[in-house]
Structure 1
Amino acid sequence: MSRADWKRVGGYGAAACCAAYGSMKLAQALGAGALADKDPLPPGLRERLLARDPLFVTSHWVLAGAAAVGVVVALATVRPRKAAFPRRLLPAIAWTLGIFMIARSAGALGFGFVGDALVLAGVSSVPAEHAALAHDLARWDLLLWSPFFLLWGACWTAAVWRPRRSVGAER
């Protein structure tokens, strides 16, 4: 697959991930429980989320809007260079989002493959009254959310990847 094909797959993949995530957040903002009970949050925040606390409802609207903007940005990566974004802004946004999402999937932000594996292996201490919930959420995060964020981050970075050419390759 050529570099242009990878960039196109990355751009369309990032747009599709934005649309999927935004659709879920929009559904949650409108009152659906679409995977809300699988969100890896501490117990107190989780209760507020499931009780439809106004802060969480507002955050769902904001995230749905951000995802819609993300679709536009992702699709701009597959457009010709005459896009409406300044030349260096689009790669900076895509790289930042990609690295953030990959870090989240790995566990650098508290959730992710490493943190989930530590909880499931019993290495991370979890309050006894929340142990069953913590294990359930860690399994969901390990099998759904972390792979999704890894894919999404990989798509963002592939959309703007520009490998450096070696001096001998330019001839």
Structure 2
Amino acid sequence: MPRVDRSYAAAYGAAVCAAAYGSMKLAQALGAGALADKDPLPPGLRERLLARDPLFVASHWVLAGAALVAVVVALVSLRRRLAPVPRRLLLAIAWTLGVFMIARSAGVLGFGFVGDVLLLTGVRPPPVEHAALARDLAQWDLLLWSPFFLLWGVCWTMVGRRLRRGAANGAGNSRQATRRFQGSGTR
């Protein structure tokens, strides 16, 4: 697949991942379970989440809204001309989200492949009072959440690369056009 096609696929992938995540958070905000019991949270926070604590309900509304914005950002990044939206802003959003999601999937932020494997292999023992729950959540995180955030993060970094490359090509193209214009007047 040509590089251009991959970058377009990555933008659509980022939009689809954002839509899926936002749909899940919207469903949770409206009262559905939608994988809430598989969220890798410490036991106290998990209980508050499942009890529909107002703070968690509000956070689901915020995350659903943020996901909607992410869908728009991913789709706007596909446009050739970004006049109404500063390319640097889109570039900063894409790279920030990409790096954050890849770091989350790897385990830098506490959850992720490394932490899950350490817990499941016994290298890092789970809390004694919640050992079974911790193992269950680590399995879900290892098989669902970490790969999802890795895919989403890679899509965002590819969008960032496309935007950066587009900015560099745009600057180069305008310089070439200026040279051609100046050169045509001297003949």
* 1:69 counterpart residue number: 69
Contact in 2 for aligned 1:101/1:153 (Cα 8 Å): yes
Q: Distance in 2 between matches of 1:74 and 1:104?
A: 20
- Any stretches of 5+ residues in structure 2 without a counterpart? 169-187
Aligned length: 165
Q: Distance in 2 between matches of 1:130 and 1:83?
A: 53
* 2:161 counterpart residue number: 161
Greater relative contact order (CA < 8 Å, ≥ 6 in sequence): 1
Q: Distance in 2 between matches of 1:83 and 1:101?
A: 28
* 2:79 counterpart residue number: 79
Post-superposition offset of 1:83: 4.7
1:63 counterpart letter in structure 2: L
* 2:184 counterpart residue number: none
Whose Rg is larger? 2
Q: Does 1:150 align with 2:155?
A: no
1:108 counterpart letter in structure 2: V
* Cα offsets for 1:54-90 (capped at 9, x unmatched): 0000000000000000000010111112352212111
Could you tell me the percent identity over the aligned residues?
76
SS for the counterpart of 1:69 is helix
Post-superposition offset of 1:127: 1.7
Contact in 1 for aligned 2:126/2:135 (Cα 8 Å): no
TM-score (norm 2): 0.85
Give RMSD over aligned pairs. 1.5
Q: Which structure shows the bigger proportion of residues in helix conformation? A: 2
Call closer, same or farther: CA 1:146–1:83 in 2, change over 3 Å.
farther
SS for the counterpart of 2:98 is helix
Contact in 1 for aligned 2:98/2:156 (Cα 8 Å): yes
TM-score (norm 1): 0.92
